[in-house]
Structure 1
Amino acid sequence: MISLKASPEISLVDEPVKIQIWGLQPQQQITLRAWLKDEKGKIFHSRAFYVSDTEGKVDLEHSPATGGDFHGVCPMGLFWALKPSTLFRRLIKRDVMGSPFHVHLEVYSHLEFTPFPKKPPAATTSVKRWYVSPGVQRLEVRQGRIRGALFLPPGEGPFRGVIDLFGGIGGLVEFRSSLLASRGFASLALAYFGYDDLPKTLDHIDLEYFEEAANFLLNHPKVSSAGVGIVGVSKGAEIALATACFVPQIVATICINGTVCVTGNDLSYGDLTIRGIPYQVEKALMTSSGAIDYRFVFGDPRLPENQDSVLPIEKARGPIMFLVGEDDQCNDSVLYAKLSIARAEKFGKKDVSLRSYPGAGHLLEPPGSPLCTASLNSASDVSTMWGGELVGHCKAQEMSWRETLDFFRRYIPCSHRNKL
């Protein structure tokens, strides 16, 4: 009798799952398949072929995949390779508190080449993958202009505070904040357009909005009052860097695959206005898949006419870390990060670092997130190329997540409040 075990059966998505199969014939060729339904009922699936050992066992920590969606020893490959049955769909967890993703695992006692087999599997099991750990609180935030969700770890604190920004997708995206809270941070998932009563489109960036968010965190009784961190991806990385440059409450900054200049939209902070380098949409490239490569749309910050749009990284109070994918097909993020580091060195700022990942694309997310090379951008109604190759990208997600947690633990002070 063929048996399939996956452990742990319940875990956070940033934790590994161990998969083992036994009861096979020696040297038997099998197919291992994974699938889940997202919150809209759409299926994401993956598969890999294996050959059992002389004892009739397959252990994904040691057994190499011989084909399918990946090759070689790849213990989390089935999770990394989950792909949509509908083109250009991205797997995003929206309701982080209500339910996990149920990932179904199936073993077929032969090589199964059809993506949706008609024959029943020889063995099945499933695992629950949560985006939030027990005891984490989610508090909706509607204070002043601020709109978002604050995630607090269990306990009285104080906790290190982090502002969490996503990019052109707009709306409120919470899955990174819920995981940060699960790892001990008070994380504010902050919307800045396309949500609630905020502007529907991003026409202008007012840094005072993000300063208000920083003050909200600092004034919370469970958050350390010594300064907050900020993390952003894509347009959110641009805003995170700008906030770090001008808002002194920011003491640690992580920029994931963003620019180092103001692009497209003008930015203001009090009486200061920085012109956004106009988008050069004529330089967008249509790929063979039908998705668009935007790498060359954002303008060159090295040109003399764009110098006033480059963000003054030397003014940032605390350390800054750039996380970039070398196969980013949305931004030329490696170039931007290197330019910013060179500027920091020119002005004597020494606490700026770069982590560059071969094979990684634009969407560097927490571990457990499958590779998404292209998806429909709801803000623009076109499909965007993100880039990345499976193993390089997903290993980068594991490394960058560890570095993110370590960076914020090291550089965000955690101090108790003075009691009156």
Structure 2
Amino acid sequence: MSKHFEVSSEKSAVDASISIKLTHLPPLKEITIETKTISPFYCINAPMKVAKDTQWRSVHTFKSDKNVVVDLATSPAIDGIYNGVFPMGCVSFLVPDKIINAKVEKDVAHIPLNASYSLELTAYADQQVLDKCELERFFIDEHIQCERIEFDAFKARYFYPKNKQNLPAIIVVSGSEGGIEKAQAIAQLLANRGYATVAIGYFDLLGTATALSEIPIEFIEQAIHYLKSREEIDKNRIGIYGRSKGAEFSLVAASYFKDITCVVVNSPTSLIFEGMNKHYPSKSASWTYQGVALPYFKFKIVPFLISKLCARNYPDFKKDHPSSISVENINGPILLLAAKNDEVWDSYEACLQILKRLEKNKFHHDVRYTFYDNSGHMLTIPYQPNNRYGNGNVDVMQDTIDAWHKTIAFFEDYL
């Protein structure tokens, strides 16, 4: 039993906030809390090549109050990766000690579920250890079943609560990083909340396309058919979640397949872009339907360079494009989430164009949207390090928490 640490839950979901306190401390004393990973650690925001054996750590200093307590919900960090009050700061704001790179696994059979990770928190006063505690943070709860699905040209993992019926289902599609782990992490956290979810890996895996180019949108249709074949699924409640390039994929697929009745897109575009081969344009479409390339916006280097020199957006989403996604054909409510300072593409302006198109075509389903001032394109899940925007950026984390909560609420309301 801990002498000083009081935590509301020693085992909790990755997206859950918990209470962390230290009690019975010397009064008005500087207290240091060191947090470190003590198991393989999967971070959705880290580059895929970062090995899970990389150790992550944070060190923060607080001052006990006159009631001899440090409560992360009210006690400000006076030194460390973040400053000020943030209840989950010691858990969220970690940095790698030394990055270990590893070969990215391409075979889904050998890609781990990344079910959970463990953290050790150590409290110090005057460099002397006061107390320690361990926390387990899980992506997938023990009541969730997982099955690997083998489709002809893409890979998927299916997550669902055991012994449940009439489940709403969500197809999860990640972005241009390829693989399945990022989609998997989101699918797992949604499954914990009572959904059946399918995480799709549609390129850069063994047995899939090697590039994000000419991907058949029928992959989503096949996933829909799979879900409808499952006896535990409510066939009238199938949604889709996509972020970044996966948001583009999701909007396109939902505009074709009427079985999708609820759509959440994070950092989307209003256009179909050219495909990608590693970091270069593929000179072909991103998506196909019935073997035919869908119209796409072609990348051109000269206008791109001019836009950078003149601090203009490329492409200009305000202009009409033949590759605009027919979002008005979507058969259900839509949630749009975007950052006003998206560094990859202007998802904020893209969302405004989506809203204009929906209004112009008298879209009769509900539409919600939220635009964020502090974050960027990497708006994923809460309480995991997101060092792309500077270590310990509380404002970015608050945006991420809000976006995730709005995602959960939207699915609860409409699916």
The TM-score normalised by the length of structure 1 is 0.83
Report the residue type matching 2:378 in the other structure: L
Q: Tell me, yes or no, if the aligned pair for 1:27 and 1:56 is still in contact at 8 Å.
A: yes
Q: Which amino acid in 1 is paired with 2:54?
A: K
Structure 2 partner of 1:383: none
Q: Which amino acid aligns with 2:119?
A: V
User: Which residue does the alignment assign to 2:24?
Assistant: 23
Matched with 2:264 is 254
Paired residue total: 379
Partner in structure 2 of residue 95 of structure 1: 112
2:35 equivalent in structure 1: 34
- Residues in 1 aligned to 2:350 and 2:296: alpha-carbon distance in whole angstroms: 15
Distance 2:395 2:101 in 1: 21
CA deviation map 1:278-313 (0-9, x unaligned):
23567889xxxxxx9xx9786223345xx1111011
Query: Is 1:363 paired with 2:375?
Result: no
- CA–CA distance in structure 1, aligned partners of residues 3 and 195 of structure 2: 43
Q: Cα 1:140–1:130, aligned 2, differ >3 Å: closer, same or farther?
A: same
More displaced 10-residue stretch of structure 1: 397-406 or 270-279: 270-279
CA-based RMSD? 2.8
1:27-67 per-position Cα deviation (integer Å, ceiling 9, x unaligned): 11122121215453101122222111113221111212222
Look up the SS of the partner of 2:241 in the other structure: strand
1:171 to 179, 199, 203: 179
Conserved in 1, the CA contact under 8 Å of 2:82 and 2:391? no
Closer/same/farther in 2, CA of residues 120 and 148 from structure 1, 3 Å limit: farther
Contact 1:282 1:297 survives alignment (8 Å)? no
The worse-fitting range, judged by mean Cα deviation, of 351-360 and 236-245 is 351-360
Distance 1:300 1:68, change over 3 A: same
2:304–2:314 contact (8 Å) kept in structure 1: no
1:366 touches 1:398 (CA, 8 Å); kept in 2?
yes
| SS of the residue 2:345 aligns to | coil
Secondary structure of 1:121 counterpart: strand
Return the offset for 1:120. 6.2
**Counterpart residue number, 1:70:** 82
Q: 1:259 Cα deviation (Å)? A: 1.1
Partner of 1:345: 359
- Is 1:58 the equivalent of 2:75? no
Letter in 2 for 1:15: A
Aligned counterparts of 1:330 and 1:308: Cα–Cα separation in 2:
21
What displacement does 1:314 show?
A: 1.0
Preserved contact between residue 247 and residue 267 of structure 2 (Cα < 8 Å): yes
Partner of 1:104: 120
Decide whether the 8 Å contact of 1:102 with 1:128 is kept in 2: yes
Alpha-carbon distance, 1:332 to partner: 1.4
Which whole-Å CA distance do the structure 2 matches of 1:320 and 1:388 have between them?
32
The answer for the alignment partner of 1:273 in structure 2 is 293
Partners of 1:199 and 1:96 in 2: how far apart?
A: 22
Please list every run of 5 or more consecutive structure 1 residues that lacks an aligned counterpart in the other structure. Answer: 111-118, 286-291, 375-386, 413-420
TM-score, normalising length: structure 2: 0.84
Per the TM alignment, residue 393 of structure 1 is displaced from its structure 2 partner at its CA by 2.0
CA shift in 2, pair 1:71/1:269, >3 Å:
same
* Range that drifts further, 34-43 or 255-264: 34-43
Gaps of 5+ in 2: 42-51, 105-110, 276-284
Instruction: Kindly indicate whether residue 167 of structure 2 is the aligned counterpart of residue 150 of structure 1.
Output: no
- Assess, with a 3 A threshold, how the Cα gap between structure 1 residues 169 and 72 changes in structure 2: closer, same or farther: same
1:253–1:9 distance in 2 versus 1, CA, 3 Å: same
Map Cα deviations across residues 357-386 of structure 1 (whole Å, 9 max, x no partner): 221222222222222317xxxxxxxxxxxx
Provide the rounded CA distance (Å) in 2 between the counterparts of 1:218 and 1:198. 23
Identity value in percent: 25
